[in-house]
């Protein structure tokens, strides 16, 4: 990511970060990150890919730590601020981290663990504001070197450390900057967690590569976000579907004058993106009614960054994720590994390209299993091509239900269910069954005290084939989700 730092020097006087009510320039970011690098190096020339973990809320301090680790030749391991201690300890142990940079809010939580694991603890508040000359960080880092380890969401298995190189990250950023037409005058609000590719690459790094400004809002508040969208300061916004659902719910409770004001202001942004989970078509349509924006949907994952995207300038078809991004090779493959060329024929998404990760950290067998013999990364996600654009049908392990010889997309059933007034949120899973292999089961969050599932099933039978109608139902106060708002379907299955 040294090219990212070199580009920052050209924007030294521009505002890079707005954090905690203060503006920070690119020059200040370079100065502070050099200080972080110097402290980590402690007189050495290079960290030689030591894993440096850091737990810092979204802020100027977060970016200074990230850049400082890279400048020192280390591998950045951002920790999730919402994770409990056992999950944090797992990452620290798995990566064999040598240093842990800790924001004041997490010192008490992690001090004992750092001592037990013999990890050097560096409180963020003690890092100097600037590096002394003899602590200047190295100026060149080979693109093939490891840069970052992010952990998979763990929705289907124990989290794995995804290792990306500097070259991987630069390709991912440059591809999105071009595809989504980033400009130096753009300004984006970042409300996404910064232990995930969505917040780190799509928002933060694309903005800083472009000389644009990234404003942090450490805690999501619907009223604050709406005011930011409407006040004319932002040009871009990216979020997960859950956030858009919450924003819509807040807007609908306002009086007409406030609704009109907020909607008019939001129309002036040049791009709004949804990702990290399937976007229900009713949510897309409602958001378009409120703001005039057709949310740009895209497809990616921790291992590959973004691989497909709807068009910035052209068609954004609801329920679809567009086409492969420039430089990304993609194919659909059947269960025997043969390439699928026919439209409307489901297959596994497989990817090649410079953005594909290097390895799963210390898991050579898992790394080998993730690729075909001829080098295609097997995403585990199923899609089909539909009149020129790709549509995600779901993850093979949790979203593709195999019942009575049929392969059923849980996402398609969810999309229909969400159109019913008795359904606020829902998730569909396959539950093991001796006769059918799996039966379709639906969990529903409803505004009604006791939803009539028999009536809901009858309603569905008029809209989808009978074999797709759920046979088991569950009424929940809330769906189990991870920190990105993605339903953890294996946890949900246990509730059936």
**Angstrom distance (rounded) from CA 443 to CA 441:** 7
Q: What is the pLDDT of residue 457?
A: 94
Q: Tokens for 186? A: 């753009």
CATH number of the structural domain 400-495: 3.30.300.30
Which CATH architecture best describes the domain 2-208? 3-Layer(aba) Sandwich (3.40)
**Angstrom distance (rounded) from CA 91 to CA 175:** 29
Which DSSP category does 481 fall into? B
Sequence-distant (6+) residues with CB within 8 A of 255 are none
For residue range 333-372, list pLDDT tens digits in order: 998 899 999 999 999 999 999 999 999 999 999 999 999 9
**Angstrom distance (rounded) from CA 88 to CA 71:** 24
Q: What angle do CA 108, 110, 112 make, to 5 degrees?
A: 85
**Angstrom distance (rounded) from CA 275 to CA 298:** 6
Q: What is the pLDDT of residue 406?
A: 76
| DSSP β-ladder status, 296-301 and 271-274 | parallel
Q: What is the pLDDT of residue 330?
A: 97
Q: Mean of the per-residue pLDDT values for the chain?
A: 92
Which of 12, 154, 1, 136 lies closest to 83, judged by CA?
Answer: 154
Burial of 340 (0-12, 13-18, 19+ CB in 10 A): middle
Q: What is the pLDDT of residue 472?
A: 95
Asked if 399 and 393 count as a contact pair (C-beta separation under 8 A), the reply is yes
Residues of the chain with pLDDT under 50: none
Q: What is the pLDDT of residue 179?
A: 97
Sign of CA dihedral 104, 107, 108, 110: positive
Rg (CA), the chain: 23
Q: What is the pLDDT of residue 137?
A: 61
How many other CB atoms are found less than 10 A from the CB of residue 159?
16
Q: What are the residue boundaries of the structural domains of the chain, listed by start?
A: 2-208, 219-348+385-395, 400-495
Q: What is the pLDDT of residue 294?
A: 96
Asked if 28 and 19 count as a contact pair (C-beta separation under 8 A), the reply is no
Q: What is the pLDDT of residue 189?
A: 97
**Angstrom distance (rounded) from CA 320 to CA 293:** 16
Share of residues in the chain with pLDDT > 90 (%):
78
Q: 219-348+385-395 domain in CATH 3.50.50.60? A: no
Are the folds of 2-208 and 400-495 the same? no
Count Cα atoms within 13 angstroms, Cβ side, for 215. 18
For residue range 99-151, list pLDDT tens digits in order: 999 999 999 999 999 999 999 999 999 998 776 655 556 557 899 999 999 99
Which of 304, 346, 310, 302 lies closest to 328, judged by CA?
Answer: 304
What is the strand order of the sheet 271-274 is part of? 22-25, 15-19, 213-216, 187-190, 236-239, 271-274, 296-301, 305-309, 323-324
User: SS3 breakdown of the chain: % helix, strand, coil, rounded to 5?
Assistant: 35, 25, 40
pTM: 0.87
């Amino acid at each position: 990511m040294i090219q990212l730092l070199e580009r920052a020097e050209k924007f030294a006087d521009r505002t890079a970060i707005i954090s905690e009510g203060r503006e920070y320039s690119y020059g200040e970011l370079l100065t502070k990150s050099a200080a972080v690098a110097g402290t980590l190096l402690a007189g050495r020339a290079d960290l030689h890919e030591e894993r440096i973990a850091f737990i810092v809320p979204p802020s100027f301090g977060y970016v200074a730590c990230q850049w400082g680790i890279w400048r020192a030749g280390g591998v950045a391991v951002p920790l999730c601020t919402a994770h409990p201690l056992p999950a944090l300890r797992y990452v620290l142990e798995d990566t064999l981290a040598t240093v842990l940079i800790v924001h004041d809010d997490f010192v008490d939580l992690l001090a004992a663990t750092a001592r037990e694991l013999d990890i050097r603890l560096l409180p963020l508040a003690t890092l100097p504001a600037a590096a002394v000359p003899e602590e200047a960080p190295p100026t060149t880092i080979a693109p093939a070197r490891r840069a970052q380890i992010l952990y998979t969401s763990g929705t289907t298995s124990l989290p794995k450390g995804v290792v990306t190189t500097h070259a991987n990250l630069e390709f991912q950023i440059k591809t999105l900057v071009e595809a989504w037409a980033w400009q130096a005058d753009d300004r984006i609000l970042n409300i996404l967690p910064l232990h995930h590719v969505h917040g780190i690459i799509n928002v933060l790094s694309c903005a800083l590569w472009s000389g644009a400004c990234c404003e942090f809002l450490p805690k999501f508040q619907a009223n604050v976000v709406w005011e930011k969208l409407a006040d004319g300061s932002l040009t871009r916004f990216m979020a997960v579907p859950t956030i858009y659902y919450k924003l819509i719910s807040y807007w609908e409770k306002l009086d007409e004058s406030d609704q009109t004001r907020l909607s008019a202001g939001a129309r002036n942004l040049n791009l709004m993106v949804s990702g990290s989970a399937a976007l229900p078509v009713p949510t897309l349509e409602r958001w378009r009614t409120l703001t005039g924006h057709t949310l740009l949907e895209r497809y990616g994952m921790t291992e590959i960054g973004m691989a497909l995207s709807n068009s910035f300038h052209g068609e954004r078809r609801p329920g679809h994720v567009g086409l492969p991004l420039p430089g990304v090779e993609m194919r659909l493959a059947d269960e025997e590994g043969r390439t699928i060329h026919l439209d409307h024929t489901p297959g596994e998404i497989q990817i090649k390209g410079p953005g594909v990760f290097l390895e799963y950290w210390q898991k050579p067998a898992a790394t080998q299993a993730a690729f075909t013999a001829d080098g295609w990364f097997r995403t585990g996600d199923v899609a089909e091509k539909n009149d020129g654009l790709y549509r995600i049908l779901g993850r093979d392990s949790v979203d593709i239900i195999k019942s009575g010889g049929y392969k059923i997309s849980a996402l398609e059933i969810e999309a229909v269910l969400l159109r019913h007034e008795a359904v606020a949120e829902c998730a569909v899973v396959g539950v093991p069954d001796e006769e059918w292999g799996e039966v379709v089961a639906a969990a529903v969050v409803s505004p009604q005290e006791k939803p009539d599932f028999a009536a809901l099933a009858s309603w569905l039978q008029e809209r989808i084939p009978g074999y797709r109608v759920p046979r088991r139902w569950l009424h929940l106060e809330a769906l189990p989700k991870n920190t990105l708002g993605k339903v953890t379907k294996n946890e949900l299955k246990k509730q059936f």
